[in-house]
Structure 1
Amino acid sequence: MIYKLLPTTEWDDARAAGRLNGTAVDRQDGFIHLSAADQLVETARRHFTGATGLTLLTVDPARLGDRLRWEPSRGGERFPHLYGPLPVAAVVEARALPADVPAGDAVAELIG
């Protein structure tokens, strides 16, 4: 599985639309940023410190087809990038992060 961390309001909008077109950063970069399990805690700590109202999506990469590419990013490490919208049907689980726990710690607890 791969993961997407985003504001809950954006997940609510995506569910209503049937797809996630990406966050502002995703749209700016031209792809949807995703993380593997071993990358997720660092992603949360780097990009979501102090943020509240977040949801963690668990995404089945087999449902994304060839629009999913593993490309070098932070420190040369390969990250999953999705070129095109993320269909809600590819999300197998969505979990709200507790507001009173730092995002990195909350993510670490959720993915075990």
Structure 2
Amino acid sequence: MSMRTIITTSVAGFLAGLAAFAAASPASAEAPTLRLRYQFAELRTDAGAAAVFERIRRGAVRACYDGASIQHHATARRCRKELTDLMVTKLAHPRIAGIHAAAGPVRIAAR
């Protein structure tokens, strides 16, 4: 039997740094939130853990997206980093932590 787990985290403490960001975009006034669904069995293998970590990274990119505003690029980057760090910490799994440590910063591919 496999168990599905859902973890939700937000960057509520990060809101102070988003003040200017929120003023420019009313929809961003709420803390970026990431909801991760995974099965514990995925964490038993390196490939499964890598897939879970990729969902964390992509979720952080989506949660912190501000409409591609150049003025807020650094804020969005910090948001993605903090949200990813929080989710990895909350997940508290050694494979995920190792992948995260080796991964470096979240980057977004150009279109």
Which of the five TM-score ranges fits, normalised by the shorter chain?
under 0.3
**Which structure's CA Rg is the greater one?**
2
Higher strand share: 1
Higher helix share: 2
